[in-house]
Structure 1
């Protein structure tokens, strides 16, 4: 009986110990969860503050951009919009130009190949001029091609059969000018908005006229800036290629000149002789016209001199002639 009682007591004590241990474990887990919740609360508050600060910074940045700060621009100068979007921080705008000169064997075949290359590149001919000289025929092209395919178009042209090929490729970076234009445009647009608001609230006619004049000037400047931006965008998007194709050392077809007939040769001889005579008459008339002033001066001097000379000669002759009455009388003794 005593042994059984002792055994029962042992089992009861064992069960109680297990219950105590389980209760301690649950209380520890509750304390840990409460502590974690207490620590997470400040973290959530900090996150909320940081998010509000980031939102405020973003709003401040947007405000700065609205007031005329620099903004991100799409990349240009030989890159497509997709490539520009993938390149972070790349906002260069470059205008590419090329001056090419190519000597070919057959100008017609080279021109056909050139048109195919332009079509494949998505470009177009802006200006064309055909030239023909003795021993040389050529064509000059001004071509616009997309900037993304600028170098590939140059490579296609180089594949045309040719004797000589010269090229000069250059680029002009207009990124600074573009950013400056965008900033000026945003500033002018803000002034335009303010002037419109002032005009809506204007009561006096003088104020309304003054605001209207200022608004006209601002809008005119906005249109100028937009026009310059469009010009830069077009030249950045489409590169310019100046190409000269020419063919030399080729026998150009000419009409055979037949020998003139006898009548034609006689007509040519008469025409030539008439021209010589007419030229001689013209020359004589020119000489006479030039001699008239000299002859007038000589006449003014020579006529009085001749008259005086003849007068003196006549007087001298009269004095030397004997008296007829005296010759008829006899001599006196």
Structure 2
């Protein structure tokens, strides 16, 4: 009896275990089917709400960069930020500084100073970005826009101070663009993440409408990426190479020597030169007046000569004609009148 009970209990346990295993397998099958359905629905939902996801990704990346700028800078720019900082700025914490300088040099000898300036640019491994020269009223001058490596910025300015000069003016300024640079790097990283997601969605898309939508969004994202890269390259160039605006000039040497001249001989010579210059100016003014009045004088000559000739001819004609004296009435004199009236006169 005891043996029968044992075998009955053993069979009952086997049946319970079989039922448990069957329930587990059915639950696994249903969960797998449910997960497949949910994944397909999730892909469709991702295609519809991609714009919101991309905006959220970019905003989250920007906020993380604002909270921890040093960590983002080290991660995104490993190999670029550190190298440029060590190469150009020489400051701690990977700061991005742009140096500019405005210099004015009054040279003793313009040609020698220009040669020394070109040598200094060559020694500093810089280059001339813009150049303009000229000579006005005896003064020689030229303006330069020079780019030199930031690591040798102050050394280049000290080298220019060695040029023989009468006056050396300089103004140096720096701009910290570290915050802007870190922000650009974080925005670039966010846009690149969006680009990767768009490419993945385009690979999985089967409808033409979805492909068109993804391609338009991808074009906008890639345009933003190129714009960000261009700004980063601009900052890198200006950080690694400092800008120097330089004006080199030499005043008129004759004007300087004229101020130093003195003595009676120099004053007499100057007075004679001034008189000659005044006479030349008067003659020049007279010639200019005659040249301006020449057409009018010629017109008067053409009109006046015939008139004068006609008047002379009429005068000559009047002189050749005989003159007839005017007839005057004869009036008796007083004596004759008294003789005629006197009765005692023998003729009366």
Measured against the shorter chain, the TM-score band is 0.5 to 0.7
> C-alpha separation between the residues in 1 aligned to 2:201 and 2:234?
33
**Does residue 172 of the first structure (1) align with residue 175 of the second (2)?**
yes
Counterpart position of 1:136: 139
What do residues 81-130 of structure 1 show as CA deviations (whole Å, max 9, x unaligned)? 7967xx6xx11000000000000111110010011111110100111000
Counterpart position of 1:71: 73
Counterpart position of 1:198: 201
User: 1:1-333 maps to which residues of 2 (within 5 A)?
Assistant: 69=65, 70-72=72-74, 73=77, 74-75=81-82, 79-80=86-87, 90-251=93-254, 272-276=289-293
Moved over 6 A (4+): 64-68, 81-84, 265-268, 277-280
> C-alpha separation between the residues in 1 aligned to 2:86 and 2:165?
30
Distance 1:242 1:204, change over 3 A: same
> C-alpha separation between the residues in 2 aligned to 1:75 and 1:197?
33
1:205 shift after superposition = 0.7
1:76 shift after superposition = 7.5
Distance 1:209 1:133, change over 3 A: same
Distance 1:111 1:81, change over 3 A: closer
What 5-or-longer segments of structure 2 have no aligned partner? 1-59, 66-71, 256-275, 277-281, 298-348
Conserved? CA contact 2:100–2:244, under 8 Å: yes
> C-alpha separation between the residues in 1 aligned to 2:106 and 2:150?
26
Conserved? CA contact 1:77–1:92, under 8 Å: no
Conserved? CA contact 1:94–1:175, under 8 Å: yes
SS in 2 for 1:181: helix
Counterpart position of 2:307: none
> C-alpha separation between the residues in 1 aligned to 2:288 and 2:100?
56
Number of residue equivalences:
203
Distance 1:246 1:267, change over 3 A: closer
SS in 2 for 1:80: helix
Distance 1:266 1:145, change over 3 A: closer
> C-alpha separation between the residues in 2 aligned to 1:211 and 1:92?
38
> C-alpha separation between the residues in 2 aligned to 1:243 and 1:81?
21
CA RMSD, Structure 1 to Structure 2 (Å):
3.3
What 5-or-longer segments of structure 1 have no aligned partner? 1-63, 253-258, 260-264, 281-333
SS in 2 for 1:171: strand
> C-alpha separation between the residues in 2 aligned to 1:82 and 1:246?
31
1:135 shift after superposition = 3.2
Distance 1:93 1:108, change over 3 A: same
SS in 2 for 1:163: strand
What do residues 260-295 of structure 1 show as CA deviations (whole Å, max 9, x unaligned)? xxxxx9998565324247799xxxxxxxxxxxxxxx
TM-score (norm 2): 0.53
TM-score (norm 1): 0.55
> C-alpha separation between the residues in 2 aligned to 1:223 and 1:66?
18
